[in-house]
Amino acid sequence: MSQILHLTKSLTLRYPWASSPLIIAAPMRVMSGPALAVAVSRAGGLGFIGPSLKTQDVARDLEEAKNLIEQSKALQAARSSTSQTLPVGIGCQVWTDDLETAASVIAKYRPCAAWLFAPRNGQTDLDNWSRAIRAASPSTHIWIQIGTVSEARAILASTEKPDVIVVQGAEAGGHGRATDGIGFISLLPEIADLLAAQNFSIPLVAAGGIADGRGAAASFALGASGVAMGTRFLATAEARIARGYQNEILRASEGGASTTRTQLYNHLRGTFGWPEAYSPRTIINRSFVEFQAGRSFEELKVDHDEAVKKGDEAWGPQGRVATYAGASIGLVKEVKPAEEVVNELKGFVLGVFGEGVRSSL
Give residues in contact with its own copies (CB under 8 A): 1-4, 147-150, 169-171, 177, 180-187, 189-190, 192-193, 208-212, 214-215, 217-223, 253-257, 326-328, 330-331, 351-354
**Angstrom distance (rounded) from CA 285 to CA 27:** 24
Contact 113, 163 (CB under 8 A): yes
Residue 146 CB, nearest approach to its own copies (Å): 11
Residue 193 CB, nearest approach to its own copies (Å): 7
Residue 42 CB, nearest approach to its own copies (Å): 27
Which residue number, 138 or 351, has a Cβ lying nearer to its own copies? 351
**CA nearest to 341, candidates 208, 213, 241, 173:** 213
For CA atoms 356, 4, 155, 95, give the dihedral sign: negative
Residue 221 CB, nearest approach to its own copies (Å): 4
DSSP calls for 195-258: HHHTT----EEEESS--SHHHHHHHHHHT-SEEEESHHHHTBTT----HHHHHHHHH---HHHH
**Angstrom distance (rounded) from CA 151 to CA 277:** 12
Cβ neighbours of residue 200 closer than 8 Å, sequence gap 6 or more: 156, 161
Q: Is the link from the previous residue into 119 a cis peptide, with omega within 30 of 0?
A: no
CA end-to-end distance (rounded Å), the chain: 13
Which residue number, 14 or 214, has a Cβ lying nearer to its own copies? 214
Contact 103, 133 (CB under 8 A): yes
Residue 223 CB, nearest approach to its own copies (Å): 6
Q: Do strands 278-283 and 174-177 pair parallel, antiparallel, or not at all (unpaired)? A: antiparallel
Residue 190 CB, nearest approach to its own copies (Å): 4
Which residue number, 137 or 145, has a Cβ lying nearer to its own copies? 145
Which residue number, 237 or 331, has a Cβ lying nearer to its own copies? 331
Which residue number, 256 or 273, has a Cβ lying nearer to its own copies? 256
**Angstrom distance (rounded) from CA 173 to CA 105:** 27
The CA-based angle 187-6-38, given to 5 degrees, is: 80
Sheet containing 278-283: order of strands: 174-177, 278-283, 259-261
Which residue number, 4 or 133, has a Cβ lying nearer to its own copies? 4
Contact 88, 47 (CB under 8 A): yes
Q: What three-state secondary structure class fits 278?
A: strand
One-letter amino acid of 50: G
Which residue number, 3 or 80, has a Cβ lying nearer to its own copies? 3
Which residue number, 112 or 170, has a Cβ lying nearer to its own copies? 170
Residue 262 CB, nearest approach to its own copies (Å): 13
Residue 130 CB, nearest approach to its own copies (Å): 24
Which residue number, 34 or 213, has a Cβ lying nearer to its own copies? 213
Residue 149 CB, nearest approach to its own copies (Å): 4
